Amino acid sequence: MASFNYGLASVIAVLKQSGYFVKLVVVEDDIRPKDIIREIIKFNADIIGFSCMSNYWQYVKNLSEMIKLTPQLKDKLIFVGGTHSIVCPQSIQESEHIDAFCIGEGEYAALEAVEKISQGRDFYDTPGFHFRTKQNEIIKNEARMMIGRLDDLPFPDRDVFPEKVFINYANFTFSRGCPYSCSYCCNSVFNTIFRDKGNRIRCRSVSKALEEIEIFLKKYESDMLSFDDDCFNKNRQWFREFCLKYKARVSIPYACNTRPEFFDRETAQMLKESGCKKISIGVESGDENLRRTVLNRDMKDEQIIMAFEYAREAGLETMSFNMIGFPGETKESIRKTIELNKRIKPTYVQVSTFYPYAGTPLGELCKEKNYLDDERGLFTYFGKGSSILNLPNLSKKDIKDLFFRFELEIYNSHNFGRAYIAKKIRYAVSWIYKYFPRPIKNILRIIKSNFYETSCSLLRIEPQLSSGQRKKVTI
């Protein structure tokens, strides 16, 4: 299902605030490349922009090549932003069809580049970008300073996204940065890249956060809000102020995320009294040694157990985040994760298959150990349990089987066999769906819109200039 990309929406908002028109095309599983190219031609795009995570990088490269091989589009500029271009800026060398990589926060970098392009000026010196020139030379500019005051940014633009995005998932992010460096997460790389580029941890003011929520609720109806900050209470002073003011101004329940070592009885009570309904807590692995030595998550089992206990005491629903299939794991260590989840009794369980994101410590370890196989284009994470790793102590079959068994063992201890078969059938139907003819897919899409989205988007921008200066610039 299409989802809201907060960072992309913020870049769009800055561009629109400066007088540029923006068109967004969400690239979903059901959209063919030729349909995307048709859209670009229809809008007479001058710049095509992708927001890309590492597991979609191969897709972006392939689509960029198709775009540049289309005669009407061969001279258009292709920009790539998002996590992959930041943690792996050297990847720009892998495709002669991509003209720019944004290597940091994109709002002001994109605005400066677009303004130079719309004015016919040289843009290759724009900070925050790596560029490929027409002579195939790679120009590496410095990363920009991180944006210090998030209140200076306009609210992310939601109007360019399909309305269906917000029907079941009204999500917000009020902060940037994480104080931790988990080995599988991009934040571990960000903390190194931007250590001299300003404060890593930044928050919108509580008043601005609440204003954004109120503006959203005037346009969209929602029974539940989701605050997607990695650790919602990482700034204790901000968190206290938010809890005190939220209930007075917003009556809708919300969900948020935290870490076990940040969560105590007082925090749980504050959340409950402010209107929080669900708290999601990262467990990741039930093997304490692997958590510390491989995942760089130095927390005790007891801290995890108590965090869920505090949430239960306060009357909060809980979700546990879990990950399987990372280097060093065995079937026995995954069993430990399952058993720990049985002990903490979360209301909901989320299990993902480890993906070795390029540039992260664990991703680079997989590369060094030659764990990656030839299925690097496989889009796994919350998918169907497939792994793209060949691990010495854990087979792909083991990972897939344990993925299927994981939440079922926790949810269905009484009827495990029946639940296991039902889940297998659901995933088989999902797999068969991919081979349905397009007309049948379109009918099913009307009945239930539930398609897997890539992390790539196309934007279209036109600068609002005088009639004599008007030039279309599309991202």
Residue 362 to residue 181: CA distance in whole angstroms: 11
Give percent of the chain above pLDDT 90. 69
Query: What average pLDDT is seen over the chain?
Result: 86
Contacts of 475 (CB under 8 A, 6+ apart): 15, 22, 47, 48, 49, 79, 110, 114, 459, 460, 461
pLDDT at 148 over 90: yes
The enclosing H or E element of 87 equals helix 83-87
Give percent of the chain above pLDDT 70. 83
- The pLDDT value recorded for residue 136 is 93
- Residue written as tokens 């091989």? 69
pLDDT at 95 over 60: yes
- Residue written as tokens 């669900």? 278
pLDDT at 145 over 90: yes
pLDDT at 143 over 90: yes
- The pLDDT value recorded for residue 438 is 55
Q: How confident is the model at residue 470 (pLDDT cuts 50, 70, 90)?
A: very low
> How does DSSP classify residue 180?
-
Q: Could you please report the per-residue DSSP string of 184-232? A: TSHHHHHHHHTTTSS-S-EE--HHHHHHHHHHHHHH---S-EEE--SST
Number of Cβ within 10 Å of residue 133's Cβ equals 10
**pLDDT tens across 369-410, in order?**
999 886 554 444 445 678 999 999 999 999 999 998 888 888
- The pLDDT value recorded for residue 472 is 47
Per-residue pLDDT, averaged over 294-303, amounts to 97
Rounded to 5 degrees, what angle do the CA atoms 162, 167, 173 make?
Answer: 85
**pLDDT tens across 215-255, in order?**
999 999 899 999 999 999 999 999 999 999 999 999 899 99
The enclosing H or E element of 340 equals helix 331-344
- The pLDDT value recorded for residue 6 is 93
Residue type, 409: E
pLDDT at 447 over 50: no
Residue 151 has, within 13 A of its CA and on its CB side, a CA count of 9
Per-residue pLDDT, averaged over 443-463, amounts to 43
To the question of pTM greater than 0.75 for the whole model, the response is: yes
* Dihedral, 265, 277, 324, 432 alpha carbons, nearest 10: 170
- Residue written as tokens 């949810």? 411
Residue 189 to residue 187: CA distance in whole angstroms: 5
- The tokens for 38 are 């048709």
- The tokens for 388 are 């793209």
Q: How confident is the model at residue 3 (pLDDT cuts 50, 70, 90)?
A: confident
Among 93-102, 144-153, 233-242, 367-376, whose mean pLDDT is lowest? 367-376
Say if residues 129 and 100 touch (Cβ distance below 8 Å): yes
Say if residues 452 and 384 touch (Cβ distance below 8 Å): no
- Comparing CA positions, the residue from 101, 91, 114, 122 lying closest to residue 45 is 114
Helix (H, G, I), strand (E, B) or coil at 385: coil
- Comparing CA positions, the residue from 11, 37, 45, 12 lying closest to residue 117 is 45
